[in-house]
Structure 1
Amino acid sequence: MSIDYRLDGPSEAPLLVLSNSLGTTFELWQPQMAALAQQYRVLRYNQRGHGATPLPEAPLTLEILGQDVIALLDKLDVERAYFCGISMGGLTGLWLNRYHPQRFHKLAVANTAARIGNEAGWQQRAQQVRQEGLAPIAATSPARWFTEDFQRDQQPLVTALTEQLARGDAAGYAACCEALAQADLRDAVPYMSAPMLVIAGEHDPVTTVADAQWLAANAPNVTLAVLPTSHISNVACPELFNQQVMQFFAV
């Protein structure tokens, strides 16, 4: 299988899939690993065009991103798992809850929406990245990802994540932007039947609290949590993030 993935935690524990955001690798989940790997067999993977995971030959779509998770479950011979995704990874989780809910006990989706941004914006970003590379996008990412206070107080961490994005695969990033340009699950939300935790960031300018509230109002089985963070809530607020996810999965 061409998907770049890693397993941590007890082999006999329930499987938990972690799906990261656009422009990051599975190392984004490091703040969760000490807590989650005590109780779960944690599967981290890099989405298409990220890390060592190649792009498909066909144009990338949200369906391909979702089917990759199902393929990983099949490869590991896991009938049902838990799932936690953030941003683009959260949108992948929404797709899975609509089209493969029987494969998941529960799903947590953070800092995401049934429709993230708009087609024109994503196509423009894809074109920019193909022409200029990832450095200009990386330079503006801290303002989207973190509050001003977090940027000031955790400057080395913010710099490390920004530099990682700048070193990423521009073609892979652009292809994911083009997939996001077409991804719209608003009509599918009422059919997302598996229990789902929706985590919003109080200061998130990308996927807002209103986006999360809309999911909670329109999906049949949602628990809503709002954390005092911006867009990358698992990094900015790891203790509260871990607490919300683990409590939700444990019930």
Structure 2
Amino acid sequence: MKKTIHANGITMAYQIDGPETAPVVVMSNSLMSSLEMWDDTIVALTSHYRVVRYDTRGHGQSEVTPGPYSIELLANDLVGLMDALQIKKAHLVGLSMGGMICQFVGAHFPERVASLSLCDTASEMPPRSLWEERFAIARQQGLAGLVDGTIKRWFLEGFIASEPAKIERVRKMILSTPVDGYIACASAVRDMAQSTMLLKITAPTMVLLGRQDPACTVAQATVLHRVIQHSSMHIIDDAAHLSNIEKPAQFNSALKSFLDSVQ
């Protein structure tokens, strides 16, 4: 059940599942999604972990404030949520934009981080022109103008054809994202330059991604893995950007194995 809380100056929507006394995992969602993107993942974690999910500023049921945002602001939101929920330290799991947010928290708030799982993400996302084109479409057509291209980047053709119910669920999640929230968060992704910052990360880290991810590629993941000390990399075959939805069994197995290993 979603709840709301005041954190870092805004109203944030969140959900908690799992035993009260278990180690805490905080999960951060991708651009154009909400905490429901983790529905297929938490089932593998809640017997051993207390899982906190939240809607990023400008997404889902969290407050939309004037943009543009920065990854620093979104990272402060995550830490602010932990403060509001009285969570001193947690395992952070982020996918795409969520992974970018977790990178920042790992570098600047090391005392709050038990481990990092950086999924289908990157430390830089050029070119700027690509984002400007998407913003123009969003302003003119709403997220409906971006939804089909997004789904084709997020999933392989075979999955789109064979899992219409899951694709429809994702489509509704994308279309429910406020345009202003999308542009403000995407501006943070556009302007991000975090590769050097990765050197500051000291928490145990797993880089996890789909091999066919066209948005955050294996090459970009390799940068994370090579620069972050104490990191490992796990690649899921036959998966694109939202590997947690496309290959949930493989994703969940890799994630839980990593979390169990760093307890």
Shorter-chain TM band: over 0.9
1:11 & 1:156 partners in 2: Cα distance?
A: 33
Q: How does 1:71-82 map to 2 (within 5 A)?
A: 71-82=80-91
Q: Aligned pair in 2 of structure 1 residues 163, 105: CA closer, same or farther (>3 Å)?
A: same
* Structure 2 partner of 1:15: 24
1:58 Cα offset (Å): 5.8
1:57 Cα offset (Å): 4.3
Superposition RMSD on alpha carbons, in Å? 1.3
Q: Structure 2: which amino acid aligns with 1:93?
A: C
Aligned residues: 251
The answer to which structure has the higher helix fraction is 1
Q: How does 1:19-168 map to 2 (within 5 A)?
A: 19-57=28-66, 59-168=68-177
Q: CA offsets, 1:178-223, max 9 Å, x none?
A: 1111111012111211111001211111000111111111111211
Q: Structure 1: which amino acid aligns with 2:14?
A: Y
Greater CA drift, 73-82 or 113-122: 113-122
Q: CA offsets, 1:65-86, max 9 Å, x none?
A: 1011111111121211011110
Greater CA drift, 12-21 or 166-175: 166-175
Q: Give secondary structure in 2 for the equivalent of 1:42.
A: strand
TM-score, with length taken from structure 2: 0.92
Q: Give secondary structure in 1 for the equivalent of 2:32.
A: coil
TM-score, with length taken from structure 1: 0.96
Q: Give secondary structure in 2 for the equivalent of 1:29.
A: helix
Q: Give secondary structure in 2 for the equivalent of 1:199.
A: strand
* Structure 1 partner of 2:3: none
For the Cα contact (< 8 Å) 2:67–2:183, is it kept in 1? Answer: no
Gap runs ≥5 in structure 1 = none
For the Cα contact (< 8 Å) 1:12–1:41, is it kept in 2? Answer: yes
1:54 & 1:127 partners in 2: Cα distance?
A: 23
* Structure 2 partner of 1:249: 259
Q: CA offsets, 1:39-86, max 9 Å, x none?
A: 111101000111111123463111111011111111121211011110
Greater CA drift, 124-133 or 141-150: 124-133
Q: Give secondary structure in 2 for the equivalent of 1:35.
A: coil
Q: Aligned pair in 2 of structure 1 residues 58, 172: CA closer, same or farther (>3 Å)?
A: closer
1:11 & 1:45 partners in 2: Cα distance?
A: 17
Q: CA offsets, 1:158-182, max 9 Å, x none?
A: 1221132123211111111111111
Gap runs ≥5 in structure 2 = 1-5
For the Cα contact (< 8 Å) 2:147–2:171, is it kept in 1? Answer: yes
1:110 & 1:169 partners in 2: Cα distance?
A: 24
**1:239 and 2:259 matched:** no
2:173 & 2:98 partners in 1: Cα distance?
A: 18
Q: Structure 2: which amino acid aligns with 1:216?
A: H
1:191 & 1:151 partners in 2: Cα distance?
A: 39
* Structure 2 partner of 1:185: 194
Q: Give secondary structure in 1 for the equivalent of 2:52.
A: strand
Identical pairs, percent: 31
